[in-house]
Structure 1
Amino acid sequence: FSDGDLVICAHPYWFRVHRRMLESQSSEFARLLAIPWSMVNGVTCVNSTKDSGPDFYNFLAAVYHHENFPDPPARVDFSVVESVLRVAHKYGAAAMRSRALAHLMAYSDLQGDLLPIDATPRLGAMKAIAALAREVGALWILPEILYEITCFAPDQIENANAWSGASRSLSHADRVAVGNGHRRTRHLADNPFRTLIAPERDCPERKCRKWRKELCKTQHRSFFTDPKRCVDWKSPSREDVRLKGMCHACRRIFKREWTEFSFSFWQALPERFDLPGWEELDDMREKDIRLQIEDTSSPANASHGSSHD
């Protein structure tokens, strides 16, 4: 901007912007700009050598023009979300951070259409989401994403994957969490299919005993591959297939125990990845996203940044 009163140097870019636009984003920016800096052609020059130029470009574009970083459910490229969130988090720009987190939450929806369908890019996307969530303290995004990663082969988890213009890898903390989570979610003692054959429950029906034994063999393998989906009984058709060979008494007992196991498996999922429990994670998410809701409902939101072209 030719009338800008501030220059920011973020390698390899130089941005001439307006001090008040940054100061309005956070008190951290205001404190930063209050420090005496060198002058370039009569304009204060802030040398932000530790910030990425492309990251700062996307952040400033979001600050000046809302249409460059609209509210969800509008789609925004992940690389832009990543840039805006990283800078907003670092400099305490709470409203912008909240909006970026709302976009990151949309990307983390495993049933949504933002994640790739093919396995390799999908794994890269989940690694990128996990790394960014960990970096900005959005731990509430991690449980299901980290769990999904455990369903891939160890070499796929360790190797980098390309996605959204970058090579994606897990942080050290997330590699440790994935390793621990894989072991804990597939612990032999927690395998619910043990209830199928031990004890025999004094079932007099030979057909039922045989069915339970065969079901135990097949589902045991499924459990160690993907226990979360294996214990998902939301689909009546799947339930009917699994239970159709059992007698009425065994079916009733197994359904009760299975329901209890499914609930306990879900409740314990965060802790198995060394994360806080669901209640604390839900509180964190509400706090993180609340500012986005308030910002979206604000009358000033529609005209934010429109005074500069």
Structure 2
Amino acid sequence: MNLRKYPSHTLALLLFCGSTCNKEYQYISQEDEGYYTQNHFKLSSIESFEKTISMLESPDEISDFRKKLADRTKKWCTTDTEKNPDELWNNFFKEEIEEKIIKKLQQKHDTTLLKSYYDRFGKLLKAPTKENEKALLTSMKKLQANTTLMEAFKICIAEEYAKPKNIKVTEAILAYQECLYFICNKPDMLHNKLKRLQSYLLKWKKDGHKTGQQLWQSIQEEKQINKILDSAKFYRYEKNKQAIATSLRLLDQLANDLYSLSYEDLLSTLPHGITKLNGILYEIELKKTDDIKLLTSYLKRIGNFYTSINIYL
């Protein structure tokens, strides 16, 4: 550009407009990136887990739970394969509450009343009698009277389980949660649905198909597809590529070990990456190679799993 032919005020205006347009373009680019890379599955808390670990804190709650327990336990234990509610509770208690909460509280507090409450709760699960209900209520009142211990307990629970990434989707949690929700007549089938998803992933591999990771890698390496990929809006951002790689890795991890993921992995990280991959496959829909067809089929079953737990990809 020949700057000499422009008057000074015109030159200043051109420079101002150029600067403004550049900032506007940067703003629009950042806005676009935010739109195409946003994780719509962010977790602040896990309601099902909070209900699983919460206490019965009133006479009405305890009485209502005892009645449901007396009625629903028979329907839970229909074959010899189901573990009794008290067995599932003991596993959950030892793994989560005793190891992570009580041992931590013992460093500064006398936890006798807390352990007494949980002992009484376990006995109610084993035998839902009015006597055990009364004993649990008495224990609860004594525990609530110790406000210092109760406050410390609630703080400890909040600190331990505040972040979904810190909570592993373990067998003890899922099995007890499934039973507890059944007793409360609010079926939670996450455990069974996860088992079915794992069976699908294992069968997919057993049938001789490439894994999701292998299919995606193969698709990206095809020269004709690679050119189309570069123009796909979801593919242009490195954040999305990383999210997709992580999600496909987590699916392989789930196939190998059902209880290796955290709640954040399962309910946030994994669906986020799969959604971005679905977006890319939709953009290159006209170029359907065998690998793209296979990957689309593979992801459809993953999507069905998430739909069944009310997460829509």
Question: Taking structure 2 as the reference length, what is the TM-score of the superposition?
Answer: 0.29
Task: Give the structure with the larger strand fraction.
Answer: 1
- The higher-RCO structure (CA 8 Å, 6+ apart) is 2
Structure with the higher helix share, 1 or 2: 2
- Whichever of the two has the greater Rg, that structure is 2
